């Protein structure tokens, strides 16, 4: 449901200056609010990060290895576990996550774990009654690769491009099928989802510590087992403040509009997302 936001966060990180040549504590925090479907998610990741290779070389600028703990919490689910991220080159980021998952109802239609009989069940909120919401637990594995780059036009203007492919395996609950709140689609109890998120942003340095970004994104998800395809596109804008303090390396606010080109119940509808992300530098490991 909120998958493009981590992609944007990685772009922000890629644009930041390289860290000193040591192992440092790092953290990332993000809050996202969404309309259609209505939702919210708060992410926190904390880990250790070490630079790789010669950071002065163009191809290795920002190359790093990072590992730590991550938590994603919404009103109806929580995913918590560990991650490993390796960026061997400036243009490539590889990441793996293993997470425990919990889902629960909150007394609203369409909010909770809903057992289904098949892919064609009606998953509109009015059909997923509050009293039918249940709890479930499980686990998920995410493997992703991101290509990223920038084309400079001047000292203060460049085009930022990023494309991330994610393969995610979810094993949640006991029902043969269920409505996956995180993905906003129907999955089997044990199933794969493939995400492809892409964006192109014009980036302008408005001041020495302020970046303005605006452009467009594409968010595609595919369930190989059923052949289901969901897709949305739209505009995206962000404002970033760098070097806010020694402990806060960047604060970004962003907003995204969207149009569903393909969706089981939202085709031809609009969606809006807004978010805030904060990157922390916790200092070198002593």
Q: Which of 55-59, 203-207, 223-227, 231-235 has the lowest mean pLDDT?
A: 55-59
d(CA 4, CA 43): 13
Distances (CA, A) of 282 to 23, 26, 80, 231: 10, 5, 21, 37
Residues 10 and 26 sit within 8 Å (Cβ to Cβ)? no
pLDDT band at 250 (very low <50, low <70, confident <90, very high): very high
pLDDT band at 53 (very low <50, low <70, confident <90, very high): confident
CATH code, domain with 191: 2.40.128
- Phi-psi category of 183—alpha, beta or left, where left has phi over 0 and alpha has psi -120 to 50? alpha
d(CA 152, CA 263): 36
DSSP codes joined into one string, 122-183:
--SGGGS-GGG-B-EEEEEEEEEEEEEEEEESSSSEEEEEEEEEEEEEEEESSSSEEEETTT
Residues 59 and 22 sit within 8 Å (Cβ to Cβ)? no
pLDDT at residue number 54: 74
- Strands (DSSP E) contained in 57-135 are 64-73, 77-89, 92-103, 115-116
pLDDT in tens, 145-163: 999 999 999 999 999 999 9
Domain count, the chain: 1
Q: Is 79 helix (H, G, I), strand (E, B) or coil?
A: strand
pLDDT in tens, 174-196: 999 999 988 999 999 999 999 99
- What is the rounded average pLDDT for all residues in the chain? 90
pLDDT at 5 over 60: no
pLDDT in tens, 81-134: 999 999 999 899 999 999 999 999 998 888 889 999 999 898 888 888 888 889
Q: 111 is in which domain, residue-wise?
A: 4-284
């Amino acid at each position: 449901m909120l998958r493009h936001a981590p992609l944007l966060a990685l772009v922000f990180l890629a644009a930041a200056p390289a860290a000193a040549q040591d192992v440092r504590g790092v953290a990332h925090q993000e809050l996202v609010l969404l309309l259609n479907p209505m939702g919210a998610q708060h992410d926190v990741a904390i880990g250790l990060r070490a630079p790789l290779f010669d950071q002065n070389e163009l191809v290795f600028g920002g190359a790093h290895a990072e590992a730590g703990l991550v938590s994603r919490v919404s009103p109806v689910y929580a995913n918590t576990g560990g991650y490993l991220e390796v960026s061997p080159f400036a243009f490539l980021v590889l990441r793996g996550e293993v997470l425990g998952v919990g889902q629960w109802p909150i007394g609203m239609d369409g909010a909770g774990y809903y057992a289904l009989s098949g892919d064609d069940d009606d998953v509109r909120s009015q059909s997923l009654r509050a009293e039918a919401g249940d709890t479930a637990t499980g686990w998920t594995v995410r493997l992703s690769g991101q290509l990223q780059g920038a084309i400079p036009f001047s000292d203060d203007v460049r085009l930022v491009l990023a494309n991330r492919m994610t393969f995610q395996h979810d094993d949640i609950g006991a029902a043969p099928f269920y409505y996956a709140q995180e993905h906003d689609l129907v999955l089997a109890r044990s199933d794969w989802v493939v995400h492809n998120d892409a964006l192109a942003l014009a980036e302008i340095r408005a001041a020495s510590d302020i970046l303005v970004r605006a452009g467009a994104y594409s968010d595609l998800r595919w369930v190989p087992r059923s052949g289901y395809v969901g897709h949305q596109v739209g505009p995206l804008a962000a404002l970033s403040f760098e070097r806010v303090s020694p402990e806060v390396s960047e604060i970004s606010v962003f907003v995204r509009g969207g149009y569903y080109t393909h969706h089981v119940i939202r085709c031809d509808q609009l969606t809006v997302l807004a978010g805030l992300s904060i990157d922390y530098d916790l200092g070198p490991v002593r």
